[in-house]
Structure 1
């Protein structure tokens, strides 16, 4: 989750968001510079203040909907990792670097939850608790909390979904003081996905190599996870045309194959598709 994507989603329902923020560019610059000096615990209050100033006394319902959608996804990610660390006695995460990595990712997700709750204030959606989740996806991943390999495979699906769902479009922020910080936050999310992939490679002893980025799977489709049940996460990632330009064989270069072209670009995932994926991990009665 990152501020670039939050603002991008808000722009879809409020085309004037940047105009609202632009007159306060100096204040925005101070805020994001301040973010380097204050703790994560203080950031939600600061971000909430920015939105209040941009919109006056209240935030439009449509904007709150975007932020609450983001909050729901962050709750899911937090509970997925937190349960693995504190309440899954049959799951053995290797001590040392592996446990440290999962703990750090969990803490990042917790910080994102607190950030969004602070921005939404009283408009924040009801908390999604662990009891509302089903990380087996209805039994599809029945051993997710007893098999470390399955746990990492599902983690990869979550992280790759997050990168696609909240992919930043830095171009809309060109010239805005928020750009630098937003890109820094987005890069952390991408590193989660990359690191989980490298952890899967390490677990296999190197016999199966998961590249740090999305690439073509053995079937020639974009799902390189080796888990066909998560095909929806990678739908559309095998695109070879960007901005109307065919990337394969570009400029007569035969070395630019489909596999190379796919790895060069991330593809966005629309909200409806993300909701469908998220709902796989929520019990009936609690779906988004």
Structure 2
């Protein structure tokens, strides 16, 4: 399987540790995919020309993820601040709003699209500001999209007709709301839709056929990026084997494994 991700990269700044870690939904999926054994993994995004941007590039290079079609802009990298609650949960507590990811948008060229066409799937997300490019990308490659909790009707109408795989967070939803959401996504054209339910696992639908996956218990160190690891595990397995049960079980194992390390995939550096 060959995957390319297009969109966000950040440095997750852990205030309690005085460390930052490379991350961002698309970077996390790219690196976890290569760790899952995919043949080729690549990333296109916008880097800041600062030390955090350099460290994210370095981590991608260490893992063998291509990023030569990315852009580097004058400015600072995305750097969300992360703290820990009294219950041990990690929460985002703000960060600068004048980062390169906030001030410029990625416009894909014909050269970019021809490069994307060399891959089996392109993954992007609601954090990547690429919704307007989806109709163009669809002509060159199947699209996987992480909605997070962006589930309102207008957003589904804009995204679902152009993607093959959709992933959402839905721990707050009732069973009826989950069923309605799945039906809406299929009606709009999305073939596979998956909703993660926190401690209740995940529910996926392939054109209306429902599959459920329980979480796999593990020794949790840090949950950062676990959802992205789940996505990477699912895509890596499903695209190769076309077996939903196998893919969901593998995804759950990879998500559990990612919870045993700090940061989305490691590589800490002092703030």
Alignment TM-score > 0.5, same fold: no
Q: Which is greater in Rg?
A: 1
TM-score, with structure 1 as normaliser: 0.28
In proportion to residue count, which structure has more helix? Answer: 1
In proportion to residue count, which structure has more strand? Answer: 2
